[in-house]
Amino acid sequence: MVFRLIIVMIFFSVGAFAQDNFTKHKISQGENLSIIAKKYGVKVKDINDANPNAPKILKLNSILLIPTKNKEVAKSKNKSEAKAEPKSQAIVNNTSGSHEVLSKETLWGISKKYNVTVDELKKANPLLETEGLKIGQKIVIPSLNSLSDEKPVIQEIASKDVELYREVKAKETKYGISREYGITVAELERQNPSIKGKVPVGYLLKIRVPKEKADAIQATKAIEESQNAAISSPVQIAETAEIKRDSTFVKMATGSHSELIDQLIANATENIGIRYRSGGTTKAGFDCSGLMICTFNNFDIKLPRSSIEQSRIGTKVATEEAQKGDLIFFRTNGRRHINHVGMIVEVVDGEIKFVHSSTHGGVMISSTKEPYYTRAFSQVNRVLE
Residues taking part in catalysis: 288, 340, 356
Which of 167, 179, 175 is closest to 205 using CA atoms? 167
Interaxial angle between packed helices 288-297 and 257-269, expressed in degrees from 0 to 180 and rounded to the nearest 10: 130
Rounded CA gap, 231 and 225, in Å? 10
Helix (H, G, I), strand (E, B) or coil at 29: coil
Q: Is 269 helix (H, G, I), strand (E, B) or coil?
A: helix
* Residues near 382 by beta carbon (within 8 Å), at least 6 away in sequence: 314, 315, 317, 323, 325, 326, 327
| Contact present, 169 and 177 (Cβ < 8 Å) | no
DSSP SS3 for 228: helix
Rg (CA), the chain: 28
Cβ neighbours around 113 below 10 Å, total:
17
The half-sphere exposure of 356 on its side-chain side, counting CA atoms within 13 A, is 24
Q: What does each C-alpha distance from 249 to 58, 312, 371, 384 come to in angstroms?
A: 54, 10, 32, 10
Nearest Cα to Cα of residue 226 among 335, 291, 311, 169: 311
Torsion from C-alpha of 103, 104, 109, 114, nearest 10 degrees: 0
79 sits in which H/E element: helix 71-83
The whole-angstrom separation of Cα 173 and Cα 357 is 26
Q: What are phi and psi of 195, to 5 degrees?
A: -85, 130
